[in-house]
């Protein structure tokens, strides 16, 4: 779960003062909203978030840190400057968040490089490595041989959480998930349990590491691994910032959302819970996340897009769709790899990540594709205006 910033386009209630505010306001106009987007203001906002991240030792805005608290405080302050247009609330809630994590990995007694998987359970295990069939997205992919051993599974198609949970359900004592693109895999499991099974200690590998292991094992080699994972996961309180316009209809609400926190690895610059009583009044949800990738592509949220789309779609959009709320958003690519087709369409460089600093401590505003940040924000305004119409 991410701490969220939500703008309800239409109000639930309106005070007498709010009625005066609304009286002289025109209806939402898509073109005027787009014209109001200014690149310098966007970059100032990015720099401010980086400043907040740098107030923490790990240079992030993770929930529970000073950086995140400064972020939500600033949002409230900025919204309060709008002369009563919004009813502003902070909604406190509790959830599990990973504070720190360390790992060590040995393959056949030799130290090996591994990537931390956020929210992996703590564990210290040694066992044989067994290759999981296909992409490891179905219980049938996990044979009896997996039980008591370490599952080796490739990234792709389904979320990492599903792979780790299915490995746990099959009796695995650990899991190694290897990348399907160049580079070591660092990823995230959910902070909450999955219906498929319990998570197991999980470490990420590079594509080369995983492919070499899979080839050797399927060729008859017997390979042992020792995994040590230690994560600190705490139940913390944080807030959602909810700004509901005092103008409009209370039975037709457009929710515009973005998360206010970052992962603990970086400042989260480029980068839902709704009550049953409210969901019937929500006409649509538009998500704003990951919109200034330097090697960008132009995309919309779905679950069959480029590598990584399924994880983002699952995390941000599925809860709204499951509640019967139309949902979508724009996306310029995270840590996936740009295809040759996308290079032909959008420029940039094929076979390279959309954003090589995504979810890393190296992220800063200087790396962004500024022109596309501006264009994507205009797209958000266009979408919001059109839905309001």
Nearest CA among 388, 130, 119 for reference residue 245: 388
- Give the bridge partners for 205, in sequence order: 178
Q: Which of 302, 321, 320 is nearest to 311 (CA)?
A: 302
Catalytic residue among 230, 277, 341, 363: 277
CA angle (112 as vertex; 224, 228 as ends), nearest 5: 70
User: Cβ distance 189 to 96 under 8 Å?
Assistant: no
The Cα 373–Cα 389 span in angstroms is 24
**Residue 62 CA to chain centroid, in angstroms?**
13
Q: Rounded to an integer, what distance in angstroms lies between the CA atom of residue 238 and that of residue 54?
A: 19
277 is catalytic: yes
Is residue 86 exposed (0-12), middle (13-18) or buried (19+ Cβ within 10 Å)? buried
Q: Any residues with CB less than 8 A from the CB of 226 and at least 6 apart, and which?
A: 104, 105, 106, 109, 124, 125, 126
Answer yes or no: are the C-beta atoms of 156 and 180 closer than 8 Å: yes
308: left (phi over 0), alpha (psi -120 to 50) or beta: left
Radius of gyration, CA atoms only, the chain: 22
Residue 241 belongs to what H/E stretch?
Answer: strand 224-245
CA–chain centroid gap for 275, Å, is 22
User: What letters, b where the CB count within 10 A reaches 16 and e where it falls short, cover 322-341?
Assistant: ebebebbbbbbbbbbbbeee
Instruction: Name the helix (H) or strand (E) containing 177.
Output: strand 174-178
Q: From residue 308, how far is each of 11, 158, 228, 319 by CA, in Å?
A: 35, 9, 26, 18
Query: Both ends of the chain: CA-CA distance in Å?
Result: 31
Which of these, 259, 263, 261, 262, lies nearest to 273 by C-alpha position?
A: 259
Tell me the catalytic residues.
277
């Amino acid at each position: 779960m991410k701490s969220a910033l939500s703008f309800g386009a239409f109000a639930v209630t309106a005070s007498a003062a709010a009625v005066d505010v609304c009286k002289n306001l025109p209806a939402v106009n898509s073109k005027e909203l787009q014209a109001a987007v200014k690149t310098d203001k966007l970059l100032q906002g990015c720099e401010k978030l980086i400043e907040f991240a740098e107030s923490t030792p790990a240079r992030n805005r993770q929930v529970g840190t000073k950086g995140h608290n400064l972020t939500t405080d600033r949002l409230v302050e900025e919204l309060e400057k709008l002369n009563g247009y919004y009813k502003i609330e902070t909604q406190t809630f509790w959830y599990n968040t990973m504070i720190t994590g360390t790992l060590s990995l040995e393959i056949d007694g030799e130290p090996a490089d591994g990537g931390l998987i956020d929210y992996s359970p703590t564990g210290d295990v040694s066992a044989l490595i067994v290759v999981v069939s296909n992409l490891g997205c179905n219980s049938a992919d996990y044979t009896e041989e997996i039980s008591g051993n370490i599952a080796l599974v490739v990234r792709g198609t389904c979320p990492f959480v599903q792979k780790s949970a299915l490995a746990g359900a099959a009796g695995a004592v650990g899991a190694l998930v290897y990348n399907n693109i160049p580079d070591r895999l660092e990823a995230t499991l959910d902070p909450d349990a999955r219906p498929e099974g319990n998570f197991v200690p999980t470490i990420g590998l590079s594509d080369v590491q995983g492919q070499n292991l899979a080839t050797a094992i399927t060729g008859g080699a017997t390979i042992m691994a020792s995994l040590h994972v230690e994560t600190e996961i705490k139940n913390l309180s944080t807030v959602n910032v909810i700004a509901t316009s005092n103008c409009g209809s209370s039975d037709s609400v457009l929710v515009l959302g973005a998360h206010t926190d970052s992962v603990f690895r970086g400042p989260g610059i480029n980068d839902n819970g709704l009550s049953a009583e409210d969901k019937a009044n929500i006409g649509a949800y538009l998500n704003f996340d990951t919109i200034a990738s330097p090697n960008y592509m132009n995309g919309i949220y779905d679950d069959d897009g480029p590598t990584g789309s399924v994880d983002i779609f699952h995390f941000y959009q599925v809860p709204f769709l499951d509640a019967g709320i139309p949902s979508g958003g724009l996306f310029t690519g995270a840590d996936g790899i740009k295809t040759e087709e996308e290079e032909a369409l959008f420029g940039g460089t094929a076979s390279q990540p959309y954003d090589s600093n995504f979810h890393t401590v190296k992220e800063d505003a200087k790396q962004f594709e500024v022109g596309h940040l501006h264009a994507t924000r205009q797209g958000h305004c266009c979408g919001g205006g059109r839905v309001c119409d």
